Structure 1
Amino acid sequence: MSTIAFIGLGIMGSPMAVHLSKAGHQVTGYNLSPDRTAPLVEAGGSAADSIAKAVIGADIVAVMVPDSPDVQDVLAAEGGVFDNAPAGALIIDFSSIRPDVTANLAQEAESRGFRIIDAPVSGGQAGAENASLSIMVGGYAEDFEAAKPVLDAVGKTVVHVGPNGAGQTVKAANQLIVAGNIQLLAEAIAFLEAYGVDMPAAVEVLGGGLAGSAVLNQKAQKMLDRSFEPGFRIDLHHKDLGIVTSAAREAGVITPVGALLTQLMASARANGDGGLDHSALFRGVERLAGKVN
């Protein structure tokens, strides 16, 4: 069992930290909003009021925050992890950020005596709550093996995909695929509803064929119910598609559908849907059809 500092206890980080505590690890959590530490404390963990205090004596520092600047602040800013964690600590960054930022932070971490892996996750709130996340890991093989007990406590599919930054690259590809699936599911549901089809029956039969997917299983009912409480917010998916767009341009890769998805996600945000679940792309389909929602 490890002594773990867990930085970032939001929709994803909180249940992940709870699973680690219940698995027997000694977990201390820190979050900008202190009330978010309550579930971890109830599960047997503890709370700290600063990053510096959270990482005292930690073998492992887990980070789950929204964007590249947040990870840079948590790790490299004054009073952050690099300034306060014990030498040799293993840093696991579960956040989804730019691959180039990850690679640069990995170089700095190594120069300061730390080990680090990027381990972005897929599966949303349900995956975090059920410890069934898919985790794509970049870093040294030996660091991946050292982190494996922690990763296995929060994920179901845990795969080492290459050096530092590779995990973030695979996650960017994941977000491109997911966005495309959600948009097409939204269009299909709008199409079916326009013809008065028995919607539960339609979703059932679609799910049993080649059109079946995890997206259909998890998001179709939210669209049917017009219930878009966030499991993964449009704001975050918009950020992830920005990562795809930038990285693809740098590599000379052409992603025309990805470019369209980025614009549709941006439109959703511009229309006030940024805080909703990404299944709320369905609202954009309705807006394009002239329907008020």
Structure 2
Amino acid sequence: MTRIGFIGLGIMGGPMAANLVKAGFEVTGYNRGRSKVDKFVEAGGRGASSVGEAVRDAEVVITMLPDSPDVESVVLGDDGVLAHAPEGVLLIDCSTIRPEVSRAIAGRVRALDAPVSGGEQGAIDGTLSIMVGGAAEDFQAAQNILRAVGGTVVHVGAAGSGQTVKAANQLIVAGTIELVAESLVFLEAHGVDTEAAIEVLSGGLAGNRILDRKAAAMVRREFTPGFRVELHHKDLGIVQAAAREAGVATPLGAVVAQLMAALNAQGDGGLDHGALLKLVAQLSGRE
């Protein structure tokens, strides 16, 4: 049995930690909000009241946190993971952060950057796509853990590579959501049966997981967050910065980043990123 300290029990982290418990791992979880810890305990995990308590006896520490500063603070801070975890602990950071931060952390501790894709449902079902950067031997050592929460688990290169692939993922997802949003508003404007349209579009070359998973809720204007606008806004900032650093032009990505930023600035950061439809409808004078 591997002892795991899990930091961050939110929309994604909570189900992931619960799936690790189901897989037979001994998991101690911590979250800043106590209610999330209590929910995890109800799922069979052990609760902790601090980062130190969560990682003190851990062989592996998993973090699932909102942004780069959060990871830096929790891992490298005076009262963080490195201050309390046993020597030789393996850190698996499943957060989506800047690649250079992952590389810096890997210079301080044995670490994998392992951001995930698949949304809340993928976390619940244990079918996440996990892109992993770090040493090959550490990736092999973490296989059983990663496959308890992911359906597609791929080692993509050295430290920071997982975050770079995740940035590309977020660029594709945001662009696809925007095009689906525009298409749905276009269909509504012409009085087309959107349910029927979604069915036929999903079966052709335009088919994609956004149509499959999000389009029906977008049409109903149901934006309960599976992945929040404010987080995708943050991720697109990572994309833009990394693209500039590499000298890569992302003209369509820049437009989508601005649209996501506008939606966030309007106070809709807590909605699901499918709320891009709301912005398209507003720009079209239809909402």
1:86-139 alpha-carbon deviations (Å, 9 max, x no partner) = 011110000000001110111122xxxxx1100000001011011010000000
1:166 maps to 2:152: no
Aligned mates of 2:139, 2:5 — CA distance in 1: 18
How big is each residue's C-alpha offset from its partner over 1:70-98, in whole Å with a ceiling of 9 and x where there is no partner? 00011000110011100111100000000
Instruction: Find the aligned partners of 1:49 and 1:42 in 2 and give their Cα distance.
Output: 16
Task: Give the superposition deviation at 1:39.
Answer: 2.7
Q: Tell me, which stretches of 5 or more residues in structure 1 are unaligned?
A: 110-114
Aligned to 1:122: 117
The amino acid of 2:242's aligned partner reads: A
Match of 2:180 in 1: 185
Q: Equivalent pairs: percent with the same residue? A: 60
| Partner Cα separation in structure 2 for residue 132 and residue 45 of structure 1 | 20
Equivalent residues of 1:183, 1:282 under 8 A apart: yes
Unaligned runs of 5+ in 2: none
Letter in 1 for 2:101: V
Alignment of 1:220-259 (within 5 A): 220-259=215-254
Which position in structure 2 is the counterpart of 1:72?
A: 72
Q: Post-superposition shift, 1:291?
A: 2.9
Q: CA deviation at 1:150?
A: 0.6
Number of the residue aligned with 1:151 = 146
Specify the code of the residue in structure 1 equivalent to 2:81: V
Q: CA deviation at 1:222?
A: 1.2
Aligned partners of 1:232 and 1:251: how far apart in 2? 27
Q: How far does the alpha carbon of each residue in 1:7-64 deviate from its partner, in whole angstroms, 9 at most, with x for none?
A: 0000000000000011110000000001101232112211111101111110100000
1:246-274 CA-partner distances (Å, limit 9, x unpaired): 00000000000011011000110111111
List structure 1 runs of 4+ shifted beyond 6 angstroms: none
CA distance in 2, matches of 1:270, 1:4: 38
1:87 match: 87
Find the partner of 1:213 among 195, 208, 215: 208
Aligned partners of 1:170, 1:81: CA distance in 2, in Å?
Answer: 25
TM-score (norm 1): 0.97
- Where 1:160 maps in the other structure, the secondary structure is strand
CA distance in 2, matches of 1:18, 1:223: 29
Does structure 1 residue 262 correspond to structure 2 residue 257?
A: yes
Contact kept, 8 Å, 1:21 with 1:40, in 2: the verdict is no
Aligned to 2:134: 139
Q: Distance in 1 between matches of 2:28 and 2:34?
A: 12
Which amino acid in structure 1 is aligned with residue 9 of structure 2? Answer: L
RMSD over aligned Cα atoms = 0.7
One-letter code aligned to 1:95: S
Contact preservation (8 Å) 1:18, 1:39: no
Q: State the shift of 1:229 in Å.
A: 0.3
Other structure's SS at 1:271 match? helix
How many Å separate the matches in 1 of 2:20 and 2:257?
Answer: 35
Task: Kindly provide the amino acid, as one letter, of the partner of residue 174 in structure 2.
Answer: A
Q: Does 1:275 align with 2:245?
A: no
Partner Cα separation in structure 2 for residue 250 and residue 153 of structure 1: 35
Q: 1:286 aligns with which of 276, 281, 285?
A: 281
Cα deviations across residues 182-227 of structure 1 (Å, max 9, x unaligned)? 0000000001111111111110000001100111111101111110
Aligned to 1:112: none
Q: Secondary structure at the match of 1:170?
A: helix
Can you list the C-alpha shifts for 1:125-181, whole angstroms capped at 9, x where unaligned? 011011010000000000001111010000000000000000000000000000000
Q: State the secondary structure of the residue aligned to 2:97.
A: coil
Letter in 2 for 1:104: A
* Aligned equivalent of 2:195: 200
**Within the alignment, does 1:62 sit opposite 2:57 as a pair?**
no
**Equivalent AA in structure 1 for residue 74 of structure 2:** V
